[in-house]
Amino acid sequence: MTNGQGQHENMAGKSPDTLQYLGRNLYILGWKIKRRTNDVSREPPDLTLLARRPLYVMSGIIALSSFFLRQPLLFVGGLLVFMITFVPEMWYRYCLRELVIERSPVTKRAEFGEKFEVRLLAENRKPLPLPWIEIADEFPEALPVQGKRLTVSAKSERAILNNTLALWAYQRVRRRYSLLASVRGAHVFGPARLRISDPFGILTREVDLDVRATLLVHPLVAPLERFNLNPNAPFGERKSRQRLLEDPLRVAGIRTYAPGDEPRRIHWKATARTGALQSKVYESSTRHTLAIFLDTRTYTHLHMGYDPEIAELAISAAASVTRWALDRGFAVGIFSNGAVHAAGMDEDASTNAPGTLARAMPDAQDDAQRLAIEIARYSGALRLRIPPASRPEQMIRTLDGLARLLPYHGTPMFAVLEGERPRLPMGASVVYIGAEALVDVPLIVALRRCRSHGHSVSLLLTQGSEKVQDDTVGSLHLTGLDTHMIGGREIWRGLVSDALGSYTNRRATDPVRADTGDTSTETTNQRDSDPVSAVSERIDGQRDDGNNGAKSTDRSFKETRALVVE
């Protein structure tokens, strides 16, 4: 969360994404760059310190008056005023120097229902002790912290984790918090506010740390049986209309000769060995392709909002079907009408540039349909689009895209289908996942057009609270499309209950319940026993062993953000 680099250090494995001007130096990748001498711009004076200048004058007047009036107590009073003025100001000026604060999740991705750690490190690298430090860190409210109740934030869907600690000279404090990945999404940690006070509590220094870390919680992946699908043939047993092409250079095996086999297919060595004609079996040069079209809408009218449980059930079904298909060697792609959450994205690998849906339905008769296709064309850079692939990283890529998917305000799904259909490989299977109430005539026409182009079509429909019109149900039966009902809220609640147990519907700001099995937050306070050795020690991000035989902790986290102020 927090950002920055220490003076005279080059921390391996840390590359801050932002630059902050702090004090007189600019830190870039751990290297200190001094200000240019010809830079006439100066920092504005601190009004807090300017307001305390009369106190120095007052202490001097009191001390001088003690000589004229021959009153030693006046000199002591002047000295006391000076100390009360000088000591807090010294802490105010130098408290942020050589101070390192790091906060980072130990991972960038988490599975639904998985527990993960967020580590906080505060380190004072100077002889000046810091008796009171408060770190108010913003956490996502949807992710509960084990054994700790967070403070409600003024921002929506955010919570505040308050840490109060004291750091002596050359002291390091580590704290670990265990969180539960109970809600799918791209969750942002940060920003934070750092407050430091002097021993008397007179002056308080505040710094806003605006560097964030993003954690992706993947959607829930469950066996297909939980969605009322046959795991052996979830979309039914049917013969493909397109014959798979064979590669004659890759021989997979041999079989008995069948009438009609070409002479070049005969395996003569096997024939001589067995005494009967044998034919070669070639590997397929093409691969089965599964194109999943995910409709994130749950109601027919946008003003009704969206049903989060029905939307999450559809997203979970899409992730589960993707896992099933990739395990069986399919090339899987996923296309959705929902936008993606851009937090923490260096580049959006799952979307295309504007114009990806340029070849839309040429024979659209209705102006409204043409307008919807144009909107889908130019929103291609915002919505989720992952082309079919069978590489091992395709599953992670798909889960990352589904984790970022925003389940509301989607474009009409028929426009997405018409735009992607020309790009689908020959013989690809099309699987539509969406709400039953949203299957309308334009969508059925688009699905039938896909089937007429040689694609097998299946529908996995969720059942929400919105009633289905009779003519829509009749249209489903008339089309002859392969349709499966995967359930509604009860199915989703059962999946979540099995994955989370007693943590179901728990938020970070909810009271800690005794039956959740929460344990207190683990706090590790590591101090260097010898200050001299601590000064000579190079703190360059290497592993550091603490007292009491604590296990060394690797500080070179990938998502670490540090703040060093001088």
565 occurs within a structural domain: no
| Contact by Cβ (8 Å): 265, 226 | no
Task: Determine, yes or no, domain membership for 363.
Answer: yes
What pairs with residue 116 in β-bridges? 179
Residues 458 and 378 in one domain: yes
Same domain, 39 and 138: no
Per mean pLDDT, which range of 112-126, 159-173, 216-230, 478-492 is the poorest? 478-492
* CB-facing half-sphere around the CA of 119: CA atoms within 13 A: 19
**H or E element that contains 138:** strand 130-140
144 with 268, same domain?
no
| 464, 310 contact by CB (below 8 A) | yes
Based on the domain organization, do 195 and 211 belong to the same domain?
A: yes
Same domain for 324 and 452?
A: yes
CATH number for 431: 3.40.50.410
- Mean pLDDT lowest for which of 125-139, 186-200, 367-381, 507-521? 367-381
In a domain, 64, yes or no: yes
**Cα 137 from Cα 190, distance rounded (Å):** 6
In this structure, what token pair is assigned to residue 228?
A: 């009322």
The CA-based angle 381-107-179, given to 5 degrees, is: 105
List all residues 6 or more positions away from 186 whose beta carbon is below 8 Å from its beta carbon: 214, 215, 216, 217, 341, 343, 344, 403, 404
The string of pLDDT tens digits covering residues 42-80 is 557 778 878 888 888 888 888 888 888 888 888 888 888
302-305 contact pairs (CB < 8 A, 24+):
302/409, 304/466, 305/408
261 is written with which tokens?
């086999």
How far apart are the C-alpha atoms of 192 and 212, rounded to whole Å?
9
The reply to whether 324 and 449 lie within a common domain is: yes
- Going 297 to 303 to 305 to 307, the CA torsion angle's sign is negative
Task: Show which of 94, 127, 158 is a domain's final residue.
Answer: 94
- d(Cα 198, Cα 95) in Å, to the nearest integer? 8
* Residues 477, 479, 483, 488, CA torsion sign: negative
Residues sharing a CB contact under 8 Å with residue 478, sequence separation 6 or more, in sequence order: none
As a whole number of angstroms, the distance between CA 301 and CA 438 comes to 10
Last residue of a domain, one of 94, 122, 144: 94
Q: Are 144 and 184 in contact (CB under 8 A)?
A: no
Give yes or no: residues 395 and 529 share one domain. Answer: no
The model's pLDDT over 310-366, given as tens digits with 9 standing for 90+, comes to 999 999 999 999 999 999 889 999 999 988 887 766 533 333 332 222 222 334 345
Query: Which structural domain range is residue 44 located in?
Result: 21-94
- Assess whether 376 and 487 both reside in one domain: yes
Asked if 550 and 526 count as a contact pair (C-beta separation under 8 A), the reply is: yes
Question: Which uninterrupted H or E stretch holds 61?
Answer: helix 53-69
Is position 5 within any domain?
no
Tell me if 509 is assigned to some domain: no
**Rounded to 5°, angle at Cα 198 from 97 and 547:** 65
Q: How many domains does the chain have?
A: 4
Name the residue type at position 332: V
Question: In the structure, what pLDDT confidence band is assigned to residue 10 with cuts at 50, 70 and 90?
Answer: very low
Q: What's the pLDDT tens digit per position in 510-548? A: 887 654 444 333 333 444 333 323 332 333 333 333 333
Please report the DSSP string for 66-81 in residue order.
HHHHT-HHHHHHHHHH
Asked whether 504 and 497 are in contact (CB, 8 A), the reply is: yes
In 3D space, the residue among 203, 241, 196 whose CA is nearest the CA of residue 97 turns out to be 196
d(CA 236, CA 481): 11
Q: Which of 375, 377, 376, 372 is nearest to 358 (CA)?
A: 377
Q: Do 202 and 231 fall within a single domain?
A: no
pLDDT of residue 223: 94
Would you place residue 284 in the very low, low, confident or very high pLDDT band (cuts 50, 70, 90)? low
Whether 417 and 490 map to the same domain: the answer is yes
In the chain, how long is the greatest CA-to-CA distance? 130
* In a shared domain, residues 255 and 387: no
Q: Full-prediction pTM beyond 0.85?
A: no
Do 375 and 458 fall within a single domain? Answer: yes
In a domain, 75, yes or no: yes
Domain boundary among 94, 127, 151: 94
Is 564 a member of any domain?
no
> Phi and psi at residue 510, in whole multiples of 5°?
-75, 150
* CATH number (domain holding residue 206): 2.60.40.10
CA 550 to chain centre: 31
Residue 185, domain member (yes or no)? yes
Cα–Cα distance for residue pair 81/60, rounded to 1 Å? 9
